[in-house]
Structure 1
Amino acid sequence: MARRSVWVAVLNISWRTAEKISHRHQLTADEVRDAVVCVAGLTYAWDVDVERGERAIVQVHLRGRPALVVLYPTDDPIGDIWNLGSAYFTDT
């Protein structure tokens, strides 16, 4: 994964996405928000999904375990407001 840093000032999490990460990955929206909002030095790489477009794949630790958080940019002119696409552990 490329070594870049992203800043997340606001993380929008839809009800549907919160339900998905809860049921599929046993993560809460609050855990994910705490791992990325206003956290300096988050490492990420850009990825392009054919159906969903450009997104940032962010490396974090949740409950002491490695995880990835998928963020989609918004129309925010500053670029620090993101929409959560998914979050999941990578060590399973």
Structure 2
Amino acid sequence: MSHHEATAQRRRATHLRRLATTISTTPAVHLERHLGADTWFGPRAQDCTGRLAAARSDALAAVDDLRARARWIDAHADRLDAAAAAADLAATTGGSGGCR
């Protein structure tokens, strides 16, 4: 285990967070603001509105999943760092962990 692996994992988590932010702030996620009876009405409009709401819900669920995965990856990186630090300590103390 190395600190480099932990750093790579943290970069991955940062990328996932940026992707989540990009998805959550894309104009397509907020199209429902522009829908209404004064814009378009009828069965097709209702169907479109329903599909749009479902797609928005799916997108926001993906955002939540990405952020949760990023948190897990950060915690994993912390564990990698701790293991690397323990290995470094063992290497510098001859494997005794500093205790003799």
Over alpha carbons, which structure has the higher Rg?
2
- What's the TM-score bracket when you normalise by the shorter of the two chains? under 0.3
User: Taking structure 2 as the reference length, what is the TM-score of the superposition?
Assistant: 0.23
Task: Tell me the TM-score normalised to structure 1 length.
Answer: 0.24
| Structure with more strand by fraction | 1
